Structure 1
Amino acid sequence: MSKLLSPNAGPASLPRRIMQQGRYETITMLRNGEQLILAIVLPLMALVGLAVTPLLDGLGGSRVDVATPGILALCAMSTAFTGQGIATGFDRRYGVLRFLSTTPLGRTGLIAGKVLAVLVVLVLQVLVVGAVAGLLGWQPRPEAWIPGLGLLILGAAAFTALGLLVAGTVRPEATLAITNLVWILFGALGGIVVPAERLPALVQSIVHFLPSGALGEALREAFLQGTVPLAAVVILVLWTLVAGAAAIRWFKWN
């Protein structure tokens, strides 16, 4: 007991601090009704809608086989960009970020905890969407899971960097508007759910260079054909590096 109460006892180790912060961030995200709608409800509605309509017919697989990879990509964007961006923006507004960055957790631990929370929620999304898609007849290639999960993590990294860039540079109200608007635009016209060839001609040549289009295309090719398009991976890496560097350069903690 005396050892526990010793005034010389130091803070917990960095990995433990990160785990505790990640646990807190995860619980906060899962308790937020708006984020749950973005993370689970809307992707599931989109999955069922695409599975029962002819929009994705003739793309090399059944409707649900073509739709599910895009819905998984949408889940990554929902959690890493919209959800984390909004949460970080309002944490910044109320001084939470400034306070936590001065504690033993530090800025590195804070960011790592947020990334950990994104990955945990993403795992839950994959399990839920995968289960519902399986009930609808989804039959993914077994060998596609390893590259598919790797692509999801890479996509989450890119969208987390973008979310932190927005949340750290504009007002929380503007963050809320921007992240929701981008979610709608990317979801509808960004190539993440609907392949580029089914989009209007005006945007077909652009979506491949967006993180949404690159992630959607890469996941569809991985799960439908068992291959990973190198160009899409390069685009996602570039978005991660550029957005991450910009967030580090211009992020304001208060």
Structure 2
Amino acid sequence: MTSRQTPETSVLDLSPRPGAARYPAMVRSQAVMELRLLSRNGEQLLLALVIPLLLLVLGARSDAIVDLGPGRPIDIITPGILALAVLSTSFTSLAIATGFERRYGIIKRLGASPLPRWGLLVAKVAAIVVVEIVQLAVLSGVGFALGWQPAGGAAAIAEMLLLVVLGTAAFGSLGLLIAGTLRAEATLAVANLVYVLLLVGGGLLVPLSRYPDQVRHLLELLPSGALGQGLRDTFAGLGPDPFSLVVLAVWAVSAGLLVSRTFTWE
């Protein structure tokens, strides 16, 4: 009801105003929730920081894991660890979280809420970006503490951002492709298996030049090899190979189109 305005009283409007919040507010709230869910998951923390940090410290010694070839081990291993961080968050963590959200009907319920489905995806991407910023800052800081000396200056930073954006798009699309088509248990198994395989032999940590020619040509076509080698070339002052950028872009676009056609919300 609305009271009449008199010299002694002001207008008091108590009428209900139903309606959804503005899109930016809904997306922002969902992004904050996605961040909370990620931060509370011990497995996500293990993939995001603990494993990369452990490998970074061990990799500072050339004979700790594998022969990285000529050059300072810390300068070779650190860009690969940054690539591994992108893989762990934008692919493995995203795939597993989304797969189980589908299983428990969370995405279905959110799809029926005022939050548009594109808003849910934007919120997930925003949460991933925030986590990756923290990852890259922490891992780079530890790398500097261990003696990492990247070359390239400000140009290398810009090139790294481009590679990380393309890598996030490629791995994120692949993660959603798996999570949107497989059962949650299958998604968990596939995501972890792919993570281990790419970590061990996907060209992330070891320079592609250390692989036999036939294997190297195959790894150059994988997003892991393109991202890992691109970051190593960038921080060596050479700049990323255009072929690496093309490979990442092709994976991002191709997987993104498949996601748009195959992803099911329940």
Q: Which of the residues 107, 110, 135 maps onto 2:145?
A: 135
Aligned twin of 2:26:
17
Larger mean CA deviation between 77-86 and 6-15 belongs to: 6-15
Structure 2 unmatched runs, 5+: 1-11
Q: Which of the residues 193, 208, 214 maps onto 2:220?
A: 208
2:69·2:210 contact (CA, 8 Å) conserved in 1? no
Query: Distance in 2 between the 1:166 and 1:115 partners?
Result: 16
Aligned twin of 2:5:
none
Query: Distance in 2 between the 1:235 and 1:6 partners?
Result: 57
Query: Distance in 2 between the 1:90 and 1:209 partners?
Result: 30
Report the identity percentage: 46
Structure 1 unmatched runs, 5+: none
Deviation at 1:205, TM superposition (A): 1.8
Aligned twin of 2:3:
none
Aligned twin of 2:105:
95
Deviation at 1:78, TM superposition (A): 0.1
Aligned twin of 2:68:
56
Distance 1:253 1:207, change over 3 A: same
Query: Distance in 2 between the 1:104 and 1:223 partners?
Result: 44
Matched residue type, 2:24? P
Q: Which of the residues 7, 18, 26 maps onto 2:35?
A: 26
1:119·1:153 contact (CA, 8 Å) conserved in 2? no
Larger mean CA deviation between 135-144 and 239-248 belongs to: 135-144
Matched residue type, 1:121? V
2:60·2:74 contact (CA, 8 Å) conserved in 1? yes
Deviation at 1:68, TM superposition (A): 0.8
Deviation at 1:146, TM superposition (A): 1.4
Measured on the aligned residues, the alpha-carbon RMSD in Å equals 1.5
**2:50 equivalent to 1:38:** no
Deviation at 1:46, TM superposition (A): 1.1
SS in 2 for 1:52: coil
Query: Distance in 1 between the 2:214 and 2:15 partners?
Result: 67
Matched residue type, 1:27? R
Matched residue type, 1:37? L
Larger mean CA deviation between 112-121 and 201-210 belongs to: 201-210
Query: Distance in 1 between the 2:18 and 2:75 partners?
Result: 55
Query: Distance in 2 between the 1:7 and 1:175 partners?
Result: 45
Instruction: For residues 76-124 of structure 1, give each alpha carbon's deviation from its aligned partner in whole angstroms, at most 9, with x where no partner exists.
Output: 0000000000000000000000110111111100000000011000000
Alignment of 1:104-253 (within 5 A): 104-141=114-151, 142-143=153-154, 144-200=156-212, 202-253=214-265
SS in 2 for 1:133: helix
Larger mean CA deviation between 133-142 and 121-130 belongs to: 133-142
Larger mean CA deviation between 193-202 and 30-39 belongs to: 193-202
Query: Distance in 1 between the 2:15 and 2:245 partners?
Result: 51
Distance 1:6 1:161, change over 3 A: farther
Larger mean CA deviation between 197-206 and 132-141 belongs to: 197-206
Matched residue type, 1:152? V
Deviation at 1:53, TM superposition (A): 2.5
1:151·1:215 contact (CA, 8 Å) conserved in 2? yes
- After TM superposition, the score normalised by the length of structure 2 is 0.90
Distance 1:69 1:252, change over 3 A: same
Aligned residues: 250
Deviation at 1:7, TM superposition (A): 3.1
Larger Rg: 2
- After TM superposition, the score normalised by the length of structure 1 is 0.94
Instruction: For residues 44-94 of structure 1, give each alpha carbon's deviation from its aligned partner in whole angstroms, at most 9, with x where no partner exists.
Output: 111112111242240xx4211111111101000000000000000000000
SS in 2 for 1:192: coil
